[in-house]
Amino acid sequence: MKIYVPGDSAAISVGADEVAAAIASKVSGATIIRNGSRGALWLEPMVEVETAKGRVAYGPVTAEDIDSLIAADFLVGGAHPLCQGLTEEIEWLASQDRVTFKRVGVIDPFSLAEYEAHGGLVGLRRAISLTSSAIIDEVTESGLRGRGGAGFPAGIKWKTVAGAASDQKYICCNADEGDSGTFADRMLIEGDPFTLIEGMTIAAIAVGATQGYVYLRSEYPYAIKTLQKAIDIAHAFGWLGSSVLGSAFAFDLKIRVGAGSYVCGEETAMLESIEGKRGVVRAKPPLPAIEGLFGKPTVINNVLTLSSVPAVMADGAAAYKARGVGRSLGTQVFQLAGNIKRGGIVEKAFGVSIDEMVNGYGGGTLSGTPIRAVQIGGPLGAYFAAAQFETSLDYESMLAAGGMLGHGGIVLFDESVDLAQQARFAMSFCAVESCGKCTPCRIGSTRGVETIDLIIKGVSVDENKKLLLDLCEVMTDGSLCAMGGLTPMPVKSAMINFPEDFTGEVSRR
């Protein structure tokens, strides 16, 4: 009998290993599969048992619950206060549109047989049979845009690299998921690593690259282990190596582990870091697509972008772009985080509202008090107030609302949040993490902290607010990359949407 206990690090953080150990010691003859997480993180550790009717879920389970679960015959789906019914029928999951995440939590992350049984490798096999330009056309036609935050069309980038003449080209996967409130890259890698490897292999075949690197954060030790094991399996299977699945294409893959620098999530700083140097941002041009890693043409895409490619190639561009709105096509993997009742992964077509995410799926705050602020798109994203919750979550609408979608992270704050403190944190985070290349970012961030401190203390509030806005403008216009360029976004949005927190009056609420 099969029992699923997620090996995802979020599940482990709340006791999944202890639950797995308790089941192993108390249930004889059980086959425990450490799957990825289904993404309903408030139910973790969520144990699933395979029954004649389908998989039945129990959660959140602790090791102490195992005795009562056994007494309730949970192995055949028996009734228990923690029983969530059939996993496929849990409304929170059933109402999602899983494309990139369709196998995460479903399969054993290390079973190639299960991967193939659930549609894996179909896209790669098709890509092998196509010409380079046919693959790139398909990806371009699908409307797939960079899921790391910038939203640049993936097919266009690939075409540039394919057209660059060089003896060596690279595929670099940006898995430096440093934004607070985002964890989709990690969960995909821990739950379905073969999908990322497949996407990178397709990209390599499309542009003529033979070496890939995954730049993965040191803060994700579980993901590093999982991905390395999956790469080893793919090697042994004849997928990676000198002949990809028996074809004339060669592709190899290495992990490079980050060293705790946020700015290395910026693509050119990431290249420097993979080259073993300080993670200092490069000026563009030259574009990395022309002169990237070690000076060679390089495709740089985020984990979710590359992991969406297998589905595009397997089901075709038309099926992918049938989802979404306007120029935001396909699905976005939203991540619900912070002070939230039902946090986790929600994959939906672009165009759902903030409200649907934070109140619908999220169920409001964990503390039960009203949501006061929502930060979308990581530490460089804007703070929104409840009045803006009807905004559609797509690239263009978010931009029009003075924010950005970023990597799809949505962080909830309850009534206790002080937006002046959040604005101060944005500046101080930039001061800690700036690579130091551009003066507005390196020095402006420290001046920003000092100015916000004066506002908080009530010193010449109006003058200092004006000064802060001026500083924001200099940082936005005078920084090479998004670190300095977008740090003003959380600061300004906090000032505009929550002016009552910037009056300098200590007892304002």
Partner 1 sequence: MKYSPWSKDAALVVLATLREEKGPVLMALQAIQNEFGYVHGEAVGLVANFFNKSRADVHGVLTFYHDLRTTPATDNQISICVAEACQAVGSRQLEKDVKTKFGAEVHDGYCFGNCALGPCAMVNGAIVGRATLDKIAKART
Q: Which residues bind partner 1 (CB under 8 A)?
A: 9-10, 12-14, 41-42, 44, 177-183, 185-187, 218-223, 256-262, 273-280, 294, 335-340, 343-344, 366, 375, 379, 409, 411-414, 417, 422, 425, 429, 433, 435
Q: 40 and 46 in contact (C-beta within 8 Å)?
A: yes
Least distance to partner 1 from the beta carbon of 107, Å? Answer: 21
Nearer to partner 1, 123 or 362 (CB): 362
Nearer to partner 1, 278 or 466 (CB): 278
Sheet holding 170-175, edge to edge: 252-257, 211-216, 170-175, 298-302
Nearer to partner 1, 135 or 405 (CB): 405
Least distance to partner 1 from the beta carbon of 44, Å? Answer: 7
Q: How far is the C-alpha of 348 from the C-alpha of 25, rounded, in Å? A: 39
Least distance to partner 1 from the beta carbon of 280, Å? Answer: 8
Contacts of 275 (CB under 8 A, 6+ apart): 293, 294
Least distance to partner 1 from the beta carbon of 13, Å? Answer: 3
Least distance to partner 1 from the beta carbon of 423, Å? Answer: 11
Question: Residue 249: how many CB atoms within 10 A of its CB?
Answer: 18
Q: 407 and 377 in contact (C-beta within 8 Å)?
A: yes
Structure tokens at 458: 């009530």
Query: 47: part of which helix (H) or strand (E)?
Result: strand 47-51
Least distance to partner 1 from the beta carbon of 65, Å? Answer: 16
HEC sequence for 462-492: HHHHHHHHHHHHHHHHHCCCHHHHHCHHHHH
Q: 455 and 502 in contact (C-beta within 8 Å)?
A: yes
Nearer to partner 1, 143 or 149 (CB): 149
Nearer to partner 1, 139 or 480 (CB): 480
Structure tokens at 61: 């389970």
Q: Report H helices in 31-90.
A: 66-71
Nearer to partner 1, 100 or 422 (CB): 422
Nearer to partner 1, 2 or 442 (CB): 442
Residue with tokens 């004649």: 52
Nearer to partner 1, 80 or 256 (CB): 256
DSSP letters, 325-368, are ETTEESEEEEEEEES-SS-EEEEEETT-BHHIIIIIIS-S-SSS
Peptide bond into 488 cis (omega under 30): no
Q: Are strands 170-175 and 211-216 parallel, antiparallel or unpaired?
A: parallel
Amino acid, single-letter form, for residue 334: F
Q: What Å distances lie between residue 257 and 58, 288, 395, CA to CA?
A: 35, 20, 30
Least distance to partner 1 from the beta carbon of 184, Å? Answer: 9
Least distance to partner 1 from the beta carbon of 345, Å? Answer: 9
Least distance to partner 1 from the beta carbon of 263, Å? Answer: 10
Least distance to partner 1 from the beta carbon of 408, Å? Answer: 12
Peptide bond into 81 cis (omega under 30): no
Q: Are strands 409-413 and 344-349 parallel, antiparallel or unpaired?
A: unpaired
Task: Report the number of secondary-structure helices (H) and strands (E) in the chain.
Answer: 22, 16
Question: Residue 499: how many CB atoms within 10 A of its CB?
Answer: 11
Q: Which 3 state secondary structure label does DSSP give 410?
A: strand
Nearer to partner 1, 180 or 247 (CB): 180
Least distance to partner 1 from the beta carbon of 429, Å? Answer: 7
Least distance to partner 1 from the beta carbon of 142, Å? Answer: 27
Nearer to partner 1, 185 or 347 (CB): 185
DSSP E strands: which ranges in 160-251? 170-175, 211-216
Q: How far is the C-alpha of 472 from the C-alpha of 494, rounded, in Å? A: 13
Nearer to partner 1, 101 or 220 (CB): 220
Nearer to partner 1, 262 or 350 (CB): 262
Sheet holding 409-413, edge to edge: 344-349, 331-338, 409-413, 373-376, 383-384
Nearer to partner 1, 72 or 209 (CB): 209
Least distance to partner 1 from the beta carbon of 72, Å? Answer: 25
